[in-house]
Amino acid sequence: MQPKFQRRVLIGVGGGIAAYKVCEVVSTLFKQGIEIRVILTNSAQQFVTPLTFATLSRHRAYTDDDFWLSYNPRPLHIELGEWADIFLIAPLTANTTAKLAQGMADNLLTNTVLASKCPILLAPAMNTDMWEQVAVQRNWQTLLTDQRYHSIDTTSGLLACDRVGKGRMAEPKEIVSYIQSLLHTFGKRDLVGKNILISAGGTREFLDPVRFIGNPSTGKMGLSLAVSALHRGANVTLVHGVSSLQVPPEIKAIPIVTAEEMRQVMLQELPNYDVIIMSAAVADMKPRDYNPEKLPKKALPENLALAPVPDIISELASHKQPHQKLIGFAAQTGDIVTPALDKLHRKNLDAIIANPVDKQDSGFGSDNNQAMYIDKNNQIEIPSCSKLEMAHHIFDIINHHLIHHN
């Protein structure tokens, strides 16, 4: 059965080996119910065929040969430019970068750029020496002065030329995530100039080197908050517990293990931020005594003595300045609102996000979530959605009720 399309993404594929990664981008977006059109430059066809993208997108892929056909009812570049909600160019080559920076239009891809008004996401990829050329960086920086252009910077690693260095195109998962953000915001950068501090994941409180008290938190919600803030233009720092999640290089990541480590980092970083979001699942108690060597099983206590862990968010609330906004999270079962309201007032928070962890496809480890945003004057339900989408809903609400309300 054909999916019900709700959004339209146009993808321009440049001539580079990284074009193979765009196949996964197209496949993933199609499975998410997004309608896809693909333009290939002549060079791109040396790496991936139009048939491949036509098969993955369930629609013919366009080349420069189509550009000059007379049977198009309207000019093809005009039709495609008006059709797109979001325009991705990946891999962006040095050649296309130069053309876009100068406003040139000598093929279907560059003509469609000039005929469109939607946000454009750029994912460059090239050899390290090419990427670091003064002329290439000048053209790249020129592009970034245009508010239409959003960018995913290159990463470092082993390149197809066997060079190890900067120039790798971002991975498909990161590109898809950015497209999802743009489909929500349509390119608005309403957090530019804001510094946002986010905690994520669970903490571990050790009994000995191999045993600890912990929780199932994976940090997915906190990372989604960090990524959504980044895509909206903020400067973001993520303080996170032990996790296998990949943090984009544009986000300052500070790993911690214990609640005390998180406490020290959060208090140290606090003065530099406008918005602080404590989405981490911090331990409430820890073993009273730590053993530096592994305890044999027979030596484990039948009754484990516990000690309280410092209340990080209350301490942050007591130190924050009037212009700073502090938002907490409350993972609950059953009634999620009543305990969240109590936490909001008792800990002097500006807002709290209450989310259920006892519902299917929600809470710890899930890719989706649902929640109730609560502040002193509002209760706003956020229905079940992906965690990235929920993060954007949270920032929509925070922007309206906290950041710009005053």
Is 352 marked as binding a ligand? no
Residue 262, phi-psi category: left (phi > 0), alpha (psi -120 to 50), beta (remainder): alpha
Is 296 marked as binding a ligand? no
Rounded Cα gap, residues 60 and 233, in angstroms: 35
Core vs surface per residue 159-186: b (16+ CB within 10 A) or e: beeeeebbbbbbbbebbbbbbbbbbbbe
User: Element (H or E) spanning 385, and its range?
Assistant: strand 379-386
- Structure tokens of 97? 């970068």
Residue 276 C-alpha from the chain's centroid: 17
Q: Please enumerate in sequence order all residues whose Cβ is within 8 A of that of 218, keeping only pairs 6 or more positions apart, or say none.
A: 201, 202, 243, 245, 364, 365
Is 208 marked as binding a ligand? no
Query: Within 13 Å and on the Cβ side, how many CA atoms surround 257?
Result: 6
Question: Is 81 strand, coil or helix?
Answer: helix
- Cβ 115 vs Cβ 82: under 8 Å: yes
Is 329 marked as binding a ligand? yes
Rounded Cα gap, residues 200 and 387, in angstroms: 13
Is 213 marked as binding a ligand? no
Rounded Cα gap, residues 19 and 15, in angstroms: 7
Is 294 marked as binding a ligand? yes
118 in catalytic set: no
Nearest to 179 by CA among 122, 221, 141, 234: 122
Is 347 marked as binding a ligand? yes
Is 284 marked as binding a ligand? yes
Q: Report cis status (omega within 30 of 0) of the bond before 296.
A: no
- Catalytic option among 23, 118, 161, 385: 161
Rounded Cα gap, residues 72 and 79, in angstroms: 9
Enumerate the known binding-site residues for CTP.
284, 294, 310-313, 329, 343, 347
Active-site positions?
161
Residues of each annotated binding site: 284, 294, 310-313, 329, 343, 347
